[in-house]
Amino acid sequence: MTAVPLAVLAALEASGLRLLRAAPPRLHLRLGRRVAHEIDLVVVAGAVGAGEAIARTLVLDGPPAAAAEHPAVISVADDDPANDDPVADDDPADGPLSGHLPDGTAWCWLPHDPALPGLPLAVDREHVGGWLGGLGVLRSLEQVAYRPGERAVLATAWEPREDEARPDRTVFLKVLPPEAVHPLHRRLRAALEAGVPVPPLVAPPHLGVLALGRVPGVPWRGLLTGPRADALDPRAVEDVLDRLPAALAAEDPDDVGASGTAGRVPAPDAAAAGTGAWRELLDHATWAAAVLDPATGAQTGRAAGAARTLLDSADPGPVVPVHGDLHPGNLHVGPAGTRVTGLLDADTLGPGHRVDDWAALIGHLRAARADLGAGGTALDGVIARFTRRAGTSADPEALAARTAATLLALAAQPEAPPAAREARRAAAAEVLHGR
């Protein structure tokens, strides 16, 4: 049996559907104390004893929580792949695609997220094939990321037509709230013109969707446990950050955050807007820790309080253009690991402080070290080198506060195992005590 939020039944009733079975919900803890669930269901449309089984994904996005409470749940049969009942991939049912429940919970059937009106078109092979048909023949289209109300990313693979002699190509479709697409397109174009290796723009913005090409190289994250872990010089990262166009520092922070992105942290990216966003991140980490690991609430609250004190007293330095979500997964490097070849997830290019990017990167490195335990000793030297380099331009207390905030936010990731969350909280305390 699988526990799913009780609100599933209300959403099904509003849609005229009946629940057959469910997979375990995927939990999203969003900024603003919002709990969202993404649930794969098998439902039945039609009268009892008739109708067809349909595979659908329901999203429940709850109202802001006043306290760390889990929603009421019910137990239903698991979505067992071995079940012999035929399940349709298409959705023949009529009925509403989204709505609101009396308690304020918003619900929708994917891909019909009201905040992402371009998503239904981005998952439509015929539409994408017509829009980007100049790339060749669309071979595959797969969703690789989704955050309710914030963004989705799909990977498309293209092969040349019979009369064309060119290699296969991968293009990523980034779906954002419509108001965020054109500002991001403008910032990416400015970065590319300045020689920053962000993903190339494949086509103009289209109905809330950006088409982006691959960047060369491999994620630096994949090298951190091998012999090339220390190959990347911090100055190579600094050089890329120095190339960010100065005009980005004058961007409206509201435009930078218009997509509502909360990042995987969930948000040194939001920290591009300044100290206030780091405080918001600490508030999120404290609340999320109480939701995920109630026994650690006091520990997280103390660490967050210490970080807030440092944020209020330390000098973050001048406002400069920043990446806003810098971490080893967003840095691509060449085969030798010495050269930065790509800068991903540039949604939050905009104004901030250089210490913001250093802290986000060092915080992720420290989280990786904490996760690996005794197997992560190779990262000690990497962390020390990047911390020393950051210290040449950043106030140590500003760096410590932001690094600890990053670690506390990473400790609030629902997908992280409990042991990893605890290790990340301990790493945050170590940063604050050892600054």
DSSP 25: P
What whole-number distance in Å separates Cα of residue 398 and Cα of residue 355? Answer: 7
What whole-number distance in Å separates Cα of residue 215 and Cα of residue 213? Answer: 7
Place of tokens 């190509």: 169
For the stretch 89-137, pLDDT in tens is: 445 456 789 999 998 999 999 999 999 999 999 999 999 999 999 999 9
76-98 average pLDDT score = 58
244-273 average pLDDT score = 59
Tokens of 80: 């067992």
Residue 269 has pLDDT above 60, yes or no: no
In this prediction, residue 43 has a pLDDT band, given cuts at 50, 70 and 90, of very high
Mean pLDDT for the chain?
88
φ, ψ for residue 316 (rounded to 5)?
-80, -10
Smallest CA-to-CA distance from 221 within 81, 92, 110, 379 is with 379
**Strand, coil or helix: what is 230?**
coil
Residue 61 has pLDDT above 50, yes or no: yes
151-157 average pLDDT score = 97
Of residues 406 and 377, more confidence is placed in 406
Task: List strand residue ranges (DSSP E) for 281-361, in order.
Answer: 320-322, 331-333, 340-343, 350-352
Q: What's the pLDDT at 270?
A: 41
Residue 82 has pLDDT above 60, yes or no: no
Residue 56's CB is within 10 A of a number of other CB atoms, namely 19
The CA–CA distances, whole Å, from 254 to 261, 265, 352 equal: 12, 19, 13
Q: Which of 30-39, 134-143, 244-253, 260-269 has the lowest mean pLDDT?
A: 260-269
Q: What's the pLDDT at 272?
A: 41
Q: What's the pLDDT at 275?
A: 74
Q: Which of 118-127, 245-254, 392-401 has the lowest mean pLDDT?
A: 245-254
Residue 46 has pLDDT above 80, yes or no: no
57-75 average pLDDT score = 72
Residue 154 has pLDDT above 60, yes or no: yes
Q: What's the pLDDT at 264?
A: 37
What whole-number distance in Å separates Cα of residue 205 and Cα of residue 186? Answer: 10
207-229 average pLDDT score = 93
The CA–CA distances, whole Å, from 178 to 109, 118, 183, 189, 205 equal: 19, 8, 10, 18, 10
What whole-number distance in Å separates Cα of residue 337 and Cα of residue 220? Answer: 7
In this prediction, residue 340 has a pLDDT band, given cuts at 50, 70 and 90, of very high
H or E, element range at 407: helix 396-410
Q: What's the pLDDT at 263?
A: 36
394-422 average pLDDT score = 96
Question: Which domains can be identified in the chain, with CATH numbers?
Answer: 2-109 (no CATH), 119-213 (3.30.200), 218-434 (3.90.1200)
Does this model's pTM top 0.75? My answer is yes
Q: What's the pLDDT at 227?
A: 87
Residue 89's CB is within 10 A of a number of other CB atoms, namely 6
The CA–CA distances, whole Å, from 39 to 12, 62, 64 equal: 12, 14, 20
Q: What's the pLDDT at 84?
A: 44
Residue 273 has pLDDT above 60, yes or no: no
What whole-number distance in Å separates Cα of residue 407 and Cα of residue 265? Answer: 8
Residue 73 has pLDDT above 80, yes or no: no
What whole-number distance in Å separates Cα of residue 158 and Cα of residue 153? Answer: 16
Q: What's the pLDDT at 378?
A: 87
Q: What's the pLDDT at 72?
A: 64
20-39 average pLDDT score = 92
What whole-number distance in Å separates Cα of residue 346 and Cα of residue 251? Answer: 14
Q: What's the pLDDT at 260?
A: 36
For the stretch 369-387, pLDDT in tens is: 999 998 888 899 999 999 9
Share of the chain above pLDDT 70, in %: 87
